[in-house]
Amino acid sequence: MENTICVRMDEVITQFAIGGKLTESRPYGNGHINDTFLLTYEMAGESKHYILQRMNHVIFRNPHQLMENIVNVTEYLQGKIADEGGDAQRETLNVVRTVQGMPYYKDSGDNYWRVFLFIEGTECFEKVESAKDFYDSAVAFGNFQKRLADYPAEKLHETIPNFHNTPSRFSDFRNAVEEDRMGRAALAGKEIGFALEREGDTSVLTEMLREGELPLRVTHNDTKLNNILFDAKTKKAICIIDLDTVMPGLSLYDFGDSIRFGASTGAEDEKDLDKVEVDLDLFEAYTRGFLEGCGGSLTPEEIRMLPMGAKLMTYECGIRFLADYLEGDVYFKIHREGHNLDRARTQFKLVADMEKKWDKMADIVERCRKNLL
């Protein structure tokens, strides 16, 4: 497979409008979805780097629509950044087009490839090490929301249909329980019961969107710390990356997924549930940073519902892990027996802990809101 990729790369790199001579290409990063390479070109005695990616068209079944989203959003961001006096080549991704003017290239083996300018002098972090890290990431994702607040989200394609449609995810989960194709439901009775008891929560946000109580936004949908580039010298968050899941949604999705991933005291697959709870200091740091980054672009109702975003994104992830366990671990990669069941249990423990701390979370949101007035 690796040799095949190398052969394809030899075909592909000549198709992009890159000046200079290619001197090195090597695998880059630790992403699990796309195949990523760092290209080094020499021109006039200087080196310049580019990111080459083979897109995973099994997960993203319409690469044309995906790249249309990315091009439209990044070009819009470039204009916003330039208006603010920023550096549009460092503060957002820049797509390098093919010699034919296309944002991607389809090779002779039906693989889809793209190239981005490499953002020099940056680094990224795999996990939250401090409240400051979490705060900085919140400001960055909030700023992403602010800059795209006027973008017509309804014009974006859904790169993964129903990605955060919680009622749809619940329906998939219920079907997995009823089919019980692996005979595992009896081993997860407590977890299944926990999920079923909260069915009423699943439609809260989608119903508010339908009724016009929450606005449709451009959402990133994978708001983890490692999807932000930090300046290596200043340590300031400068660029949001991994835009494959940028599509129409709710700001609460992005906020909630960050809390789910970053404000937990335990690992996503922690087996000792006594180690898993919501760290309210981290919740407050992120809430403060997110609201600051959003710069007044959120509505009062969006702000009020931030705790529900955190709870529902955590719950949704839990039922996805649990459904995959019941179906035989066909979607999420596992590294041990019962891995997806362990993952589901940590998410449900977080949900239960949020419910216990609900009033405190709401008070934190209100305090952060008032402090920005």
Alpha carbons 209 and 253: distance in angstroms, whole number = 12
Whether the per-residue pLDDT at 93 is higher than 80: the answer is yes
* One domain, residues 312 and 166: yes
* One domain, residues 79 and 188: no
User: Is 126 part of a structural domain of the chain?
Assistant: no
Q: Identify the pLDDT of residue 271.
A: 97
Whether the per-residue pLDDT at 261 is higher than 70: the answer is yes
* One domain, residues 151 and 285: yes
Q: Identify the pLDDT of residue 5.
A: 56
Mean pLDDT over residues 346-371, rounded?
Answer: 98
* One domain, residues 135 and 271: yes
Sheet with 228-231, side-by-side order of all strands: 122-123, 228-231, 237-240
Alpha carbons 105 and 99: distance in angstroms, whole number = 10
User: Is 125 part of a structural domain of the chain?
Assistant: no
User: Is 179 part of a structural domain of the chain?
Assistant: yes
Whether the per-residue pLDDT at 164 is higher than 80: the answer is yes
- Number of separate domains in the chain: 2
Percent of the chain with pLDDT over 70: 98
Mean pLDDT over residues 196-222, rounded?
Answer: 97
Whether the per-residue pLDDT at 343 is higher than 50: the answer is yes
Q: Identify the pLDDT of residue 45.
A: 86
User: Is 235 part of a structural domain of the chain?
Assistant: yes
Q: Identify the pLDDT of residue 3.
A: 47
User: Is 320 part of a structural domain of the chain?
Assistant: yes
Q: Which of 66, 100, 120 is the last residue of a domain?
A: 120
User: Is 111 part of a structural domain of the chain?
Assistant: yes
Whether the per-residue pLDDT at 4 is higher than 60: the answer is no
Q: Which of 69, 100, 120 is the last residue of a domain?
A: 120
Name the one residue in this structure whose structure tokens are 């290409």: 25
CATH number, domain containing residue 270: 3.90.1200
CATH number, domain containing residue 88: 3.30.200.20
- Residue 304 belongs to what H/E stretch? helix 300-304
* One domain, residues 223 and 342: yes
Give the pLDDT confidence of 103-143 residue by residue, as tens digits: 999 998 899 999 999 999 999 988 888 899 899 999 999 99
Q: Identify the pLDDT of residue 272.
A: 98
Alpha carbons 231 and 90: distance in angstroms, whole number = 9
* One domain, residues 108 and 176: no
Alpha carbons 341 and 188: distance in angstroms, whole number = 8
User: Is 145 part of a structural domain of the chain?
Assistant: yes
Q: What is the mean pLDDT of the chain?
A: 94
* One domain, residues 23 and 170: no
Q: Which of 120, 149, 165 is the last residue of a domain?
A: 120
User: Which residue range is the domain that position 33 belongs to?
Assistant: 2-120
Name the pairing type of β-strands 112-117 and 237-240.
unpaired
Q: Identify the pLDDT of residue 44.
A: 86
Mean pLDDT over residues 316-320, rounded?
Answer: 98
Q: Identify the pLDDT of residue 30.
A: 74
Best mean pLDDT range from 15-19, 249-253, 328-332: 249-253
Q: Identify the pLDDT of residue 32.
A: 66
* One domain, residues 84 and 189: no
* One domain, residues 171 and 252: yes
Give the pLDDT confidence of 270-311 residue by residue, as tens digits: 999 999 999 999 999 999 999 999 999 999 999 999 999 999
Range from 41-45, 151-155, 338-342, 349-353 carrying the lowest mean pLDDT: 41-45
Whether the per-residue pLDDT at 74 is higher than 50: the answer is yes
Alpha carbons 101 and 118: distance in angstroms, whole number = 19
* One domain, residues 175 and 315: yes
* One domain, residues 139 and 54: no
C-alpha distances in Å from residue 268, one per residue of 169, 341, 344: 19, 11, 9
